[in-house]
């Protein structure tokens, strides 16, 4: 019985790759230094899987930035503005596409399905000249082989690649991306030939778009693509891997009829309905890669239950054709529980990170083949039982309060236009008010202060003094810049979810449970293991301190319940909606305490509401219903004069605009600058609604400083669509990852642009 891993985290158990990348980008180390760190990480991952007994070990799941960008490099699909002139794509061109450079902005980045991972969106036009320009896949295959590990090279599938692309500038409306399929396949054939020549016997194509509700011509593209590739693939075992949801029936039919394909991978954690399809018919002689170990969460697998599922499948596909696998790449979970020194043993016994999941996969494979490790299985069963019965998990009062929310409506009594009038009387803001999204640069010094306080190396008094000074500095800077609605800068926060989780009950924290978000950026999601409640106020002290430094309005800054949920590792023992309602009640108490403390503008970030949207259309309405309801619960109790902002980092919400309006916030700030103003038409809906809208006027993901004229131009474009009395001027997200040398000139230009246009209006 064989075992397989879809993909593995790249950052390293202690974020080694992050630090190597950032040091290279800062010019503090060489390309060779970076390559060495990367090679060591790859080697240790391959060896770890080989030692655990995994049969199908992936390669080319490593990336210096993003696997979709790697595919773009392989295909030589570099947009012209990066000045690449051919040849093997090096770090210069690669990182310019990813991050922009002094003269050219980065390519667009967007969320990878419903995860918090971001990929670089390929930009393709009719004249793109695909050439095989990165040999990374074959190089990694050979590298592993030299270490004695025969791997399964993983490629982003050609159809998924095209379906995730966007048409280049100028041809947005007219261009059919799938028309590029023949040209793309020509390069794939070269890659396949290379891999074959290097000795590969398996190849994995990741085609996760198969879990979406695809129109039939898109499904047809899969049929065409693999028929075209079949001769090139002959002699290889070909695995098509899907993940993140169940595969719709039509896609299942297409998939299992593909030419030249020998194996199919399914997510059987999020895609339990696929099980029924498999039971309904599975092509004989083909392999089923059964993803029973969750790639997106940190809970130990319920081995007995997985074993039963697998045994059922064995009866359908045959013993020799069943391969135990992960539900998705392990990229979306934490790396290694071994490095968790602060979790207590009870909670630890409930968990499995990527390194432990490899062992689980192998244990299941062994058990299926009659070599069950009884001790391992009974320890697992004991842990499952302890989690079910632990008093740390249940809080009756919270359960009751959350249950009472269901079915009822919660909505502020006055409509948004009337509320905005009441707020304006109190706030007296100029037209096109300027603000920022919350965080200011997190300096080395700041991180040191927080770290030392946490480690009890400095006293609470010293800590409070330092943070107060920082807030004071940030407030002064904003006054100098003449920003209208200020923020305190979030210097006391490590992370917008962790900060709240640490103060709520029902949460546990890791020290190294990092998950890649984009590029070198990682997040460390808290673990929600029990019922959530708020023992005491969480932000009132710092917001009051900040407000005391200025006469201008100071925004209270909270993270919304849906974002806390979506950016945490959540319980899998109750519905997500239940957990969210519990968090909403805790945030509601905080909003009301801020209002009592005299904070008149409160921002409740729902940065992750969109990404939690289920991939399958049939499940979306229900999610949006409880998600939006949870948001409204947080602020249903405030006065009309209290202005509720929300912020969302999305680039596409055309499909959920009505839900966003239904959140009933007074002001909505959103990401816009990386998505070519395509959102603007959507904002027209916002005009009807009447709330304030702040589409980001510049991209904070890039170090580039936007000139005043460029920002003014953006504002003018927005004004062409939006009424002037509802438009806000702000960056598209928080500034914590930027440096002051970037933030000061950028905000100076932003305020200058706003004033320029105010004078013209």
Which residues does the annotation mark as catalytic? 701
450 interacts with ligand GLN by CB under 6 A: no
Alpha carbon distance 96, 44 (integer Å): 29
Nearer to Zn ion, 38 or 733 (CB): 733
Q: 439 touches which of Zn ion, ligand GLN, none (CB within 5 to 8 A by kind)?
A: ligand GLN
423 interacts with ligand GLN by CB under 6 A: no
Length of the chain, please?
761
Q: 588 touches which of ligand GLN, Zn ion, none (CB within 5 to 8 A by kind)?
A: none
736 interacts with ligand GLN by CB under 6 A: yes
Residue 438 tokens, joined: 């919350």
733 interacts with Zn ion by CB under 5 A: yes
15 interacts with ligand GLN by CB under 6 A: no
149: left (phi over 0), alpha (psi -120 to 50) or beta: beta
Annotated binding residue at 732? Answer: no
What Cα–Cα distance (Å) separates residue 395 from each residue in 392, 477, 505, 509?
A: 8, 44, 10, 19
Question: CB of 671: closest distance to ligand GLN in angstroms?
Answer: 8
606 contacts 560 by C-beta, under 8 angstroms? yes
Piece in contact with ligand GLN (CB under 6 A), picked from 360-368, 371-379, 432-440, 623-631: 432-440
Alpha carbon distance 440, 705 (integer Å): 16
Alpha carbon distance 492, 446 (integer Å): 8
557 interacts with ligand GLN by CB under 6 A: yes
754 contacts 715 by C-beta, under 8 angstroms? yes
Got the DSSP string for 287-346?
EEEEEEE-SS--BPP-HHHHHHHHHHHHHHH-GGGEEEEESS-GGGS-S-GGG--SS-HH
516 contacts 16 by C-beta, under 8 angstroms? no
Q: 664 touches which of Zn ion, ligand GLN, none (CB within 5 to 8 A by kind)?
A: none
What is the per-residue binding string for Zn ion in 579-618, x denoting contact by CB under 5 A? ----------------------------x-----------
496 interacts with ligand GLN by CB under 6 A: yes
707 contacts 396 by C-beta, under 8 angstroms? no
Piece in contact with Zn ion (CB under 5 A), picked from 120-128, 489-497, 645-653, 712-720: 645-653
562 interacts with Zn ion by CB under 5 A: no
Question: CB of 359: closest distance to Zn ion in angstroms?
Answer: 37
729 contacts 645 by C-beta, under 8 angstroms? no
- Greatest pairwise CA separation for the chain in angstroms: 79
439 interacts with ligand GLN by CB under 6 A: yes
Question: Which residues share a beta bridge with 508?
Answer: 527
Give 719: exposed, middle or buried? Use CB within 10 Å, 0-12, 13-18, 19+: middle
Annotated binding residue at 439? Answer: yes
- Out of 296, 412, 645, 647, which residue is the one contacting ligand GLN (CB under 6 A)? 647
Question: CB of 119: closest distance to ligand GLN in angstroms?
Answer: 17
- Out of 605, 640, 666, 732, which residue is the one contacting ligand GLN (CB under 6 A)? 605
What one-character DSSP code corresponds to residue 738? Answer: S
Q: 556 touches which of Zn ion, ligand GLN, none (CB within 5 to 8 A by kind)?
A: none
Annotated binding residue at 647? Answer: yes
Q: How many CB atoms lie within 10 A of CB 480?
A: 12
Residues of this chain that bind Zn ion (CB under 5 A): 607, 649, 733
The binding site for Zn(2+) comprises 647, 649, 658, 671, 733
The binding site for L-methionine comprises 437-439, 490, 605
The binding site comprises 18, 116, 437-439, 490, 521-522, 567, 605, 647, 649, 658, 671, 733
Residues of this chain that bind ligand GLN (CB under 6 A): 437-439, 490, 496, 557, 605, 607, 647, 649, 733-734, 736
């Amino acid at each position: 019985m064989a075992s397989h891993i879809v993909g593995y985290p790249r950052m390293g158990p202690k974020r080694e790759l992050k630090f190597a990348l950032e040091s290279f980008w800062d010019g503090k180390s060489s390309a060779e230094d970076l390559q060495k760190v990367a090679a060591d990480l790859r080697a240790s991952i391959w060896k770890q899987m080989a030692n655990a007994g995994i049969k199908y070990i992936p390669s080319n799941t490593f990336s210096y930035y993003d696997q979709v960008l790697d595919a773009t490099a392989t295909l030589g699909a570099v947009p012209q503005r990066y000045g690449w002139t051919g040849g093997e794509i090096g770090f210069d061109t690669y990182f310019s596409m990813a991050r922009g450079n002094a003269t050219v902005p980065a390519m667009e980045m967007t969320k990878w399905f419903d995860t918090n991972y971001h990929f670089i969106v390929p930009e393709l036009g009719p004249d793109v000249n695909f050439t095989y320009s990165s040999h990374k896949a074959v190089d990694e295959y050979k590298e592993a082989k030299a270490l004695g590990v025969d791997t399964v090279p993983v490629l982003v599938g050609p159809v998924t690649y095209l379906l995730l692309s966007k048409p280049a500038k100028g041809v947005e409306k007219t261009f059919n991306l799938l028309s590029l399929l023949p040209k793309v396949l020509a390069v794939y054939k070269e890659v396949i030939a290379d891999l074959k020549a290097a000795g590969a016997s398996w190849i994995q194509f990741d085609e996760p778009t198969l879990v979406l509700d695809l129109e039939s011509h898109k499904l047809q593209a899969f049929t065409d693509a693999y028929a075209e590739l079949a001769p090139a693939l002959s002699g290889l075992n070909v695995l098509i891997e899907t993940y993140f949801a169940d595969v719709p029936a039509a896609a299942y039919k297409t998939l299992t009829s593909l030419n030249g394909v020998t194996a199919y991978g399914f997510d059987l954690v999020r895609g339990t309905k696929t099980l029924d399809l498999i039971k309904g018919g599975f092509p004989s002689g083909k392999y089923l890669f059964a993803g029973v170990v969750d790639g997106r969460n940190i809970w130990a697998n319920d081995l007995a239950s997985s074993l039963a599922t697998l045994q059922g499948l064995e009866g359908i596909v045959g013993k020799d054709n069943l391969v135990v696998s992960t539900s998705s790449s392990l990229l979306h979970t934490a790396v290694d529980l071994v490095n968790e020194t602060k979790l207590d043993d009870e909670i630890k016994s409930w968990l499995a990170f990527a390194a432990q999941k490899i062992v689980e996969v192998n244990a299941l494979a062994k058990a299926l083949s009659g070599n069950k490790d009884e001790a391992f299985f009974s320890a697992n069963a004991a842990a499952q039982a302890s989690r079910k019965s632990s008093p740390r998990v249940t809080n009756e009062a919270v359960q009751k309060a959350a249950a009472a929310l269901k079915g009822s409506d919660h909505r502020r009594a006055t409509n948004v236009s009337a509320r905005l009038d009441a707020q304006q009387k109190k706030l007296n803001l100029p037209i096109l008010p300027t603000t920022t999204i919350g965080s200011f640069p997190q300096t080395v010094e700041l991180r040191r202060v927080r770290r030392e306080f946490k480690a009890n190396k400095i006293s609470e008094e010293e800590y409070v003094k330092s943070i107060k000074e920082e807030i004071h500095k940030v407030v002064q800077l904003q006054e100098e810049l003449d920003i209208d609605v200020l923020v305190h800068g979030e210097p006391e926060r490590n992370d917008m979810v962790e900060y709240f989780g640490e103060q709520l009950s029902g949460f546990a924290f890791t020290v190294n449970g990092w998950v890649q978000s984009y590029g070198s950026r990682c997040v460390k999601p808290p673990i929600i293991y029990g019922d959530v409640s708020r023992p005491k106020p969480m932000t009132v002290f710092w917001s009051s301190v900040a407000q005391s430094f200025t006469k201008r309005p100071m925004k209270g800054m909270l993270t919304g319940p849906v974002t806390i949920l979506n950016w945490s590792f959540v319980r899998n023992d109750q519905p997500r909606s239940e957990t969210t309602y519990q968090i909403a009640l805790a945030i509601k108490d905080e909003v009301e305490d801020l209002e009592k403390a005299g904070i008149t503008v409160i921002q409740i970030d729902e940065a992750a509401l969109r990404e939690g949207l289920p991939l399958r259309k049939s499940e979306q309405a229900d999610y949006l219903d409880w998600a939006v309801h949870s948001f409204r619960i947080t602020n249903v109790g405030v006065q009309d004069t209290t202005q509720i902002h929300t912020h969302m980092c999305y680039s596409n919400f055309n499909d959920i605009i009505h839900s966003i309006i239904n959140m009933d916030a007074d002001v909505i700030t959103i990401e816009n600058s990386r998505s070519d103003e395509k959102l603007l038409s959507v904002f027209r809906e916002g005009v009807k609604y009447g709330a304030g809208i702040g589409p980001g006027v510049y991209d904070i993901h890039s170090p580039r400083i936007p000139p005043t004229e460029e920002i003014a131009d953006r504002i003018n474009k927005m004004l062409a669509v939006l009424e002037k009395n509802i438009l806000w001027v702000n960056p598209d997200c928080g500034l914590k990852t930027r440096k002051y040398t970037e933030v000061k000139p950028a905000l100076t230009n932003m305020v200058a642009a706003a004033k320029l246009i105010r004078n013209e209006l």
